[in-house]
Chains A and B, each alone.
Chain A
Amino acid sequence: MNTNTDTDVIDATKDNTPSAQYTDIIYNGLWKNNPALVQLLGLCPLLAVTSTVVNALGLGLATMVVLMGSNIAVSLIRNYVADAVRLPAFVMIIASFTTCIELVMQAFTYELYQILGIFIPLIVTNCAILGRADAFASRNPVLPSAVDAFMMGLGFMVILVALGAMRELVGQGTLFTDMQLLFGDMAVNWKWVVFDNYPNVLFAVLPPGAFIGLGLLIAGKNYFDEAEKKRVAKQKIQDGPSASKRVRVTGQVS
């Protein structure tokens, strides 16, 4: 399910110390191990509901709340659940939080709840959430788990909103339409018509536009990573070879 978790799979169940530094957790969630750009998890909502900023933000927030709740709960029970039944237990926890957020959205943002429709209950099946529960929260204390959930959720939401903004701008020529669905009456005037008389580009509004948008975002991330790698390599050449000349010839050479 999750192959890029080398940094945080070190078993820290026994002693109560986090397996990773908080800076690492933040860097992993937002950039290096971003659930949307690198793990490519939760693509179903990512592609389906990002047609406008408000839809993306609504689902991003809901996912983040569920992720934080499930990570904290899983971390609290991590020493009391047998290994064999841990996945059903995690799924139960995630499903409970999803039901909570669904009821909350139904109560406070009813129209947005109707627009997002099936994709709110489908948060249960978002692999990013189960992945974090199993790969991080079940091996780490509460606080690191909560930070990890917040950062992963934020990383997911940022990409969701970026994609929503791209598709809304290209598709309808506006930004932040209907923000009152999420923020109430004060957001009625937030709509920003970027281009007047814009012909709607249906392609960007329809799901294929989401695939291309996500592809461009991933390409952008790879471009920055590549540039950074080149910069580091250049730095290394300038610094010259390291002083130690010993070569390891036994054991696992990684």
Chain B
Amino acid sequence: MALLRITSPHTQRAGRRTAWVMQMVILATIPGIVVQTWLFGWGTLINVMIACITALLCEAAILSLRRRAVAFFLKDYSALLTAVLLGVALPPIVPWWVTVTAVAFAIIFAKQIYGGLGNNPFNPAMVGYAIVLVSFPVPMSQWLGVQSLVSAQDTLTFTQSLQAIFQFLPVVESHALIDAYTMATPLDGFKTKDLLTAEEAFNTVPALHAANLNSWLWVNLAYLVGGLGLLWLRIITWHTPVALLGALLVMSGFFYGVDSANAASPFFHLTTGAAMFGAFFIATDPVSSCTSNRGKLIYGAGIGILIYIIRAWGGYPDGVAFAVLLMNFAAPLIDYYSQPRTYGHQKAKTGLKIGEDN
């Protein structure tokens, strides 16, 4: 099965099988995973492992229920990619059942029930993420503190991370309080600054200390590197990420210019949370995003605008998952209105004409 996402596949190099594309995207997340492990401990790696096992089991189970070729579809790596993306998106010490629920829901309900790879209208990883974010707000809001900020005896070793994930709370004495080793993310901190002005918040709120901000800068840089790798391999085009980050930049820049006392700078918005991860790894999903280049620009810009709206005025600190899901709804409509002009034709077809044989 070859992944056709362009109108003239014959001009592409041969051998670009789906499995190869999926493998490359998984490899491109490695810089991000390494940085997250370095900053937040072993939790991310353990999450990814749990997610991968769950994804493969769910995919195999549903494929055999649907009487499809199990080995053939497992070898396209798409389930593994969903699992890896979810594993790095979930908080590092989230209990194991949250990861299992998210991945199982993503594979079974968001992907296989719609007909498997290529037929899912929504990004499976983000559906899984949104489900657990809505269902389990408490564990989903406990992000691990950056190891350099957490006092030395409170950083988690590998076995302690395992304990934290497989039991409700670690039973080690020094970890009696989950507050000892978890910490608000910068976006959380900024969201709950209440009446403080932005400047006061950056000076006083612990989550907005330079070390925490820098750690998130590193995470985002790592995903930027991975994303640039995907661009270089021509697995994704520049349109979606550039439009997404550009829209986020314009929105945050505008509101920072209007009201710099209460809004965060564009730099803050581009380097915290899942900005780069969302732009290069989530929004570029070939199945649930737009097809034409113009469509991708509109789609990416829509996500960027929505991310800013949710971050600034919504109920959640970060909005990548919901923004992507909302634009997934719009992607078919955008596709209808952004078809490129066919060579030799006067003008492009736009919209859906009732009764016309498309």
A residues sitting closer than 8 Å to B (CB atoms) are: 197, 199-204, 206, 208, 212
Complex CA gap A202/B131 in Å reads: 9
For residue B15, CB closer than 8 A to chain A, the reply is: no
**B137 CB–A CB distance under 8 Å:** yes
Give, as a whole number of angstroms, the nearest-CB distance from A210 to chain B: 14
Instruction: Establish whether residues A201 and B109, one from each chain, have CB atoms under 8 Å apart when the complex forms.
Output: no
Inter-subunit contact B136/A206 (CB<8 Å): no
Contact across chains for A212 and B109 when beta carbons are under 8 A apart: yes
**Complexed CA–CA distance, A197 and B167 (Å):** 12
User: Which residues on B sit within 8 Å (CB–CB) of A206?
Assistant: 134
The residue in chain B whose Cβ has the minimal distance to the Cβ of A205 is B135
Q: Chain B 94-114 against A: per-residue CB contact (8 Å), 1 yes, 0 no?
A: 000100010000000100000
Contact A202 B135, beta carbon cutoff 8 Å: yes
CB distance A199 to B136 under 8 Å?
A: yes
- For residue A200, which residues in chain B have a CB less than 8 angstroms away from its CB? 135
Q: How far is the CB of A207 from chain B (nearest CB, A)?
A: 11
Given contacts A199-B139, A203-B135, A212-B109, 13 further A-B contacts (CB under 8 A): A197-B168, A199-B97, A200-B135, A201-B135, A201-B136, A202-B134, A202-B135, A202-B137, A203-B131, A203-B134, A204-B135, A206-B134, A208-B134
> Which residues of the partner chain A approach B97 to less than 8 Å between Cβ atoms?
199
- The distance from the CB of A216 to the nearest CB of chain B, in whole angstroms, is 10
- Bound together, the chains give a CA A208 to CA B322 distance in angstroms of 15
Q: How far is the CB of A26 from chain B (nearest CB, A)?
A: 32
CB-CB under 8 A from A199, the residues of chain B are 97, 136, 139
Q: Once bound together, how far apart are the Cα atoms of A208 and B105, in whole Å?
A: 14
Residues 302-320 of B at the A interface (beta carbon under 8 Å): none
B-side interface residues toward A, CB under 8 Å? 97, 101, 109, 131, 134-137, 139, 168
Cα–Cα, bound, A203→B97 (Å): 15
Residues of A within 8 A of B101 (CB): 201
Residues of B within 8 A of A201 (CB): 101, 135-136
- Chain B residue nearest to A170 (CB atoms) is B135
Considering only CB atoms, which chain B residue lies closest to A171 in the complex? B135
Which residues of chain A come closer than 8 Å to B139, judged between CB atoms? 199
With a cutoff of 8 Å between Cβ atoms, the chain B residues found around residue A203 in the complex are 131, 134-135
Whole-angstrom CA separation of A157 from B139 in the bound complex: 36
A202 to B132, alpha carbons, bound, how many Å? 9
Cβ distance B65 to chain A, nearest Cβ, rounded Å: 11
What separation, in Å, do the CA atoms of A194 and B135 have in the docked complex?
A: 19
Q: Sample 19 A-B pairs with CB under 8 A, ordered by A number.
A: A197-B168, A199-B97, A199-B136, A199-B139, A200-B135, A201-B101, A201-B135, A201-B136, A202-B134, A202-B135, A202-B136, A202-B137, A203-B131, A203-B134, A203-B135, A204-B135, A206-B134, A208-B134, A212-B109
Identity of the chain B residue whose Cβ is nearest the Cβ of A215 in the assembled complex: B113
Closest Cβ–Cβ distance, residue A208 to chain B (whole Å): 8
By beta carbon, the residue of chain A nearest B168 is: A197
What's the minimum C-beta distance from A183 to chain B, rounded to whole angstroms?
30
Q: Which residues of chain B are near A202, meaning CB under 8 Å?
A: 134-137
> In angstroms, how far is the closest chain A Cβ from the Cβ of B160?
21
Which residues on A sit within 8 Å (CB–CB) of B135? 200-204
CA distance A208 to B325 in the complex (A): 14
* B328 CB → nearest A CB, Å: 15
A204 to B101, CA, bound (A): 13
Q: How far is the CA of A208 from the CA of B134 in the complex (A)?
A: 11
Give the docked Cα–Cα distance between A200 and B137 (Å).
10
Bound-state CA distance A212–B97 (Å) is: 20
Q: Which of A197, A199, A208 has the most CB of B within 10 A?
A: A199
Scoring B101, B109, B135, B137 by chain A CB atoms within 10 A of each residue's CB, the highest score goes to B135
Q: Nearest Cβ distance between residue A252 and chain B, in whole angstroms?
A: 29
Collect the chain B residues with CB atoms within 8 Å of residue A212's CB: 109
Q: Which residue of A lies closest to B139 (CB)?
A: A199
9 nearest interchain CB pairs? Answer: A203-B135, A201-B135, A202-B135, A203-B134, A203-B131, A202-B134, A199-B136, A206-B134, A212-B109
Closest to B130 in A: A203
A204-B168 Cα distance, complex, nearest whole Å: 21
B134 to chain A: which residues have CB within 8 Å?
Answer: 202-203, 206, 208
Tell me the nearest residue of chain A to B136, going by C-beta.
A199
Q: How far is the CA of A199 from the CA of B137 in the complex (A)?
A: 11
Contacts of A204 in B (CB 8 A): 135
Whole-angstrom CA separation of A171 from B35 in the bound complex = 36
Give the complex CA separation of A210 and B137 in angstroms. Answer: 20
